[in-house]
Amino acid sequence: MPTIVERDPANADLFTSVTGTRSTVVANLEELKRLLNETPDEYAIVLGPGVDLEAAAALADTLRVTRPATSVILIRRRVDTAVLAEALRSGMREVVEERDLTGLGEAVTRARQVWHALHAPVDHGGAAVPRGKLVTVFSPKGGVGKTTLAVNLGLALASHGQRRVCVVDLDLAFGDVAITLQLFPARTLADTVSIENGLDFSVLETLLTPHRDGLAALVAPVQPDARDSIPASLVGRVLNLLKENFDYVVVDTAPTFDEHVLQAFDETDELLLVTTLDVPTLKNVKIAVETLDLLNFPKEKRHLILNRADDKVGLSAEKVESTLGIKIHRSIPSSPQVANATNAGEPIFAASPKHVVSMAIAALANDLNAPAASQPAHNGDKSKSRAAVPKRGLLRRNRVGAHE
């Protein structure tokens, strides 16, 4: 459990109400250093607002070399650019305002995830046990075919032999994955809240709705207001468990940079940024690209998908690329049969695998299925590498609003 450095008993009680009653509290950094010699498996150190910033930075600078898996979380009464700059230089993972108890809880959860990721079990050959790949399908504009792409991509990935694929509907207010796949779920993502304390995959698996051929879905809540009861940190835990037990996790998101979507970005291996040939969508996607830059989301993990690419609306693929400053990774043509298939209760990839749209989605699935070094470049884009997405850490405390 986390170790908290805090002299004020009232503050210590407040912080442990979030980090857990088993958290250890020490009064100063000297006590902390003695304790760390006895606790090599500590994953999070929380430095209270009374800890001197210079001393806190010196400690973090030492620990990032000697104990890189241990996260240092700094609590300040007020977070400004000077504090953020010092924290960034010294290697602290997160800075949280004193009153932001929800943020503190989420920071501790991410610290635990980092610890487990860096201490992943190894097989007898010494290699890390493989984890699945999480593919997030995102667009800041509704109506671009994002859900249709996510669902059909899940079907395409599941068609690759004995691969297990899970589609997660993270549009928690108005998700359409269930209706697109013609599922009638008994459980939804909202049910994870009541089992949060004992959540493991054996429990989570009971909330999944099977489709067929190795595909399952974790669908969005039925009631839109249920999203307010689902902590973003819980979404992170759910996605981690799914990655550990599925070959691919395809996440369909809401068209907004909300807490849940940002949590998905933290777990994302490949981000599919969907656009269409219209000016309002291009404007919003342009803002989304700039936001991803601010969030330090790696450019090599972003893949621009042009949907309905053959629409005759006066804009070209070249104009899209020049406007967004990104090469198009894959283009997917338009067809009325896509909507017809969905309305008939069977997505286009299942209804007609040889359809031109299905073939385009199959090609995208092949890209994701290929080893990173062998993925092809499209339209002049460089080959993609599969480096891990770094946690945004300090930037998470400065949330970006929705662009709709």
Q: For the chain, what are the domain ranges?
A: 3-118, 133-391
Mark 102-127 as b/e (b = at least 16 C-beta within 10 Å): ebbbbbbbbbbbbbeeeeeeeeeeee
Mean pLDDT of 151-178: 89
d(CA 187, CA 109): 25
Per-residue confidence band for 157, with pLDDT thresholds at 50, 70 and 90: very high
Highest-pLDDT range among 34-48, 104-118, 279-293, 306-320? 279-293
CATH number of 133-391: 3.40.50.300
Mean pLDDT of 79-103: 90
Q: Quick one: pLDDT at residue 232?
A: 87
Q: Quick one: pLDDT at residue 398?
A: 40
Q: What is the pLDDT of residues 173-231, one digit of tens each?
A: 898 999 999 888 888 999 888 887 778 888 888 889 988 767 899 999 888 888 888 98
Whether the per-residue pLDDT at 397 is higher than 70: the answer is no
User: Hey, do 3-118 and 133-391 end up sharing a CATH topology, with the first three levels equal?
Assistant: yes
Whether the per-residue pLDDT at 270 is higher than 70: the answer is yes
Please give the DSSP secondary-structure letter assigned to residue 122: B
Q: What is the pLDDT of residues 280-295, one digit of tens each?
A: 999 999 999 999 988 8
Q: Quick one: pLDDT at residue 382?
A: 35
Select the more confidently predicted residue: 68 or 404. 68
Whether the per-residue pLDDT at 314 is higher than 90: the answer is no
Provide CB contacts within 8 A for 57, sequence distance 6+.
Answer: 86, 87, 89, 90, 92
**pTM of structure:** 0.63
Q: Quick one: pLDDT at residue 202?
A: 82
Q: Which of 36, 82, 29, 32 is nearest to 51 (CA)?
A: 29
d(CA 76, CA 83): 8
Please give the DSSP secondary-structure letter assigned to residue 380: T
Q: Quick one: pLDDT at residue 161?
A: 64
Mean pLDDT of all residues in the chain? 84
| Correct CATH for 3-118 of 3.40.50.1980, 3.40.50.2300, 3.40.50.410, 3.50.4.10 | 3.40.50.2300
Phi, psi of 259 (to 5 degrees): -60, -40
Mean pLDDT of 76-93: 90
The percent of residues in the chain predicted with pLDDT above 90, rounded, is 49
Whether the per-residue pLDDT at 69 is higher than 90: the answer is no
Q: Quick one: pLDDT at residue 265?
A: 92
Q: Quick one: pLDDT at residue 156?
A: 93
Whether the per-residue pLDDT at 29 is higher than 70: the answer is yes
Whether the per-residue pLDDT at 126 is higher than 90: the answer is no
d(CA 246, CA 302): 22
Contact 145, 274 (CB under 8 A): yes
SS3 284: helix
